[in-house]
Amino acid sequence: MTPNESRSPLEVCREEMSMHASVAEVLRQGERTVPELAEALGAPVPEVMIWLMGMRRYGLVIESAEPNEDEYFTYRLADATEVQAP
């Protein structure tokens, strides 16, 4: 796939559960923004956003309260006391 090609949202969503482990592995190294996660994963930003929002929905990641200096929110893995059922 070339950088200008995009996959269907259904195709991206099918990968969501399997991508949680990859996203978590990157976040174990520290907080990241969506563009930083996309770069680390070698995936397009819109796809990473879908996977990350799924993890957020399930309480697996926590979004920072305030954006950083570049106006991006950072994300980190939730610890066991912060994980809540959807």
Q: Please report, for the chain, the start and end positions of each structural domain, with discontinuous segments joined by +.
A: 9-77
> CA 42, CA 59: separation in Å to the nearest integer?
24
pTM for the structure as a whole: 0.78
Q: What is the pLDDT of residues 22-67, one digit of tens each?
A: 999 999 999 999 999 999 999 999 889 989 998 999 899 999 999 9
> CA 11, CA 85: separation in Å to the nearest integer?
25
* Runs of H (alpha helix) within 28-69: 34-41, 45-57
Pick the CATH number of 9-77 from 1.10.150.120, 3.40.50.720, 1.10.10.10, 3.40.50.300: 1.10.10.10
In this structure, are residues 32 and 14 in contact, taking their beta carbons and an 8 Å threshold?
A: no
> CA 47, CA 44: separation in Å to the nearest integer?
6
